[in-house]
Amino acid sequence: MGVFLIHRSLGLVSNKRENTSDIARTSDLLYDAIVETSPDSVLVTDLKGRFIFCSKQTAILHQYDSPEELIGTSAFKLFPPRETVRIARYMGETQESGMIKNIEFNLLRRDGSQFAAELSVSLILDKSGTPFAFLAIVRDVTERKWVEAQIRESEALYRVVADNTHDWEFWQAPNDRFIYISPSCKRISGYDDIEFIKDSELFSNIIHPDDRAGFAVHHQDTPETGTVREIEFRILRGDDHSVRWISQVCHPVFDKKGKFLGTRGSNRDITDKKLVDNELRAAYDQVRTQLHEIEELQTILREQAIRDSLTGLYNRRYMEEALRQEHARAIREGHQISVVMLDMDELKKVNDTYGHIVGDRALQILSEQLAGMTRVEDIACRYGGDEFLIILHNMPAREAVKRAEEWRLKLGEKGGPDKDKKFMVTFTAGIASFPASEKSIEEIIHAADIALYKAKLQGRNNVLLFDEMDQVGP
């Protein structure tokens, strides 16, 4: 996804594909739906923290006029000075572990004001597994922090009120008879205090049938000095038989000689709290489901952004970035770089004669053959229309020609797209192979294109290696 976002922002890739399928349009819609309409900031930096890409929301979040103002600048300027040490440490951890999630930071707006944010970062690797960028998702959690503070304040006020006026207090003798019941029991249970004092079994009888066994085990525990027993259970109110959740805390009381005098307890109505917990749990589950759906959409978006919808091969957008990386790596390692440019023969004639469905199937057959016979380290791309480009990693010229001939012969054994159609799928290929340090990417592609042109002049369905001594002409 990181590579796709970089390309989308910088315009390094010009989409010249002739195919304008619904799936390709869906890719653009998904990009807009997930990245540019996301309330979260999406950004990509190099390993030193310089912006390569940022979404519109990034600029909005930090009060910049456009994402372009941030491109090429350091992301560290969006952090207060006291946070720079932390972010540098987490960048190191991301390079070691590959990802950090949900780390809270204070970030800066353009005017110098700060806001709370949650940051998740993934390490982006190239085809060789070498890290080259960070992909970050930034979420403004200012409102969430405010809500959490309000909830904490409300809970504190609720506890003060409940502890002083609303709890159902009781004193129970060693024989389980109630000695005292506070008047608040009427509000919680629907029964008057005197009813519990007269009938010691009443309390057990109003416990919800599903909770009676658990309460009995709790109640039969032998009291010990200094212990506090807690349990949550449901009761059925006496007036309307509604269900209420109760949190009970019991303190056994002993005299100085250790004699058990009874139990002092408190029953608190926690029904509302349970409802809130259930609602929060349901909301949390919903958020998790939505995040999972977003992750699935992001996976689809990443694939559609770099894959040709008809053939399943990498598209030209991905090829241009991959070729740059491969060229740079070949220069570093002193390797040869070989590029095969090939055309499917007579695609226009196939389309005109048998229809575009058969023509598309012929392209798919060729693509399947290329995908099946290239190495893991090679990169096969649909360059546009009937044209394909294959990057052969660290492969000398002779081996590249041999490999392309193998593809051509194997394709001839496969046959056409339809047994009733009287044609075979064939291709013509031009190959350019140079030490990477001697030629630019554009020169290598141009040489392969020249070789392809001369191969076509020789009658198609063949493979030709570029020779700098040859003169280009009709």
288 sits in which H/E element = helix 271-306
d(CA 386, CA 356): 12
Closest of 74, 81, 16, 7 to residue 45, by C-alpha: 74
At residue 299, the 3 state secondary structure works out as helix
- Among 167, 345, 378, 386, the one annotated catalytic: 386
Q: Cα(7)–Cα(417) distance, rounded to whole angstroms?
A: 35
How many Cβ atoms from other residues are within 10 Å of residue 85's Cβ? 10
Name residues whose C-beta falls within 8 Å of residue 388's C-beta, 6 or more positions apart in sequence: 313, 341, 342, 343, 344, 366, 367, 370, 380, 381, 382, 427
Question: Using CA atoms, how far apart are residues 433 and 253, in angstroms rounded to an integer?
Answer: 91
**What φ, ψ does residue 415 adopt, rounded to 5°?**
95, -175
Query: Is 386 one of the catalytic residues?
Result: yes
DSSP helix/strand/coil, 431: strand
Length of the chain: 474
Q: Which residues pair with 135 in a beta bridge?
A: 44, 122
430 touches 452 (CB < 8 A): yes
Output DSSP code: residue 458: T
CA dihedral (91, 97, 98, 99) positive or negative: negative
At 236, list the tokens.
């059925």
Which residues are designated catalytic?
386
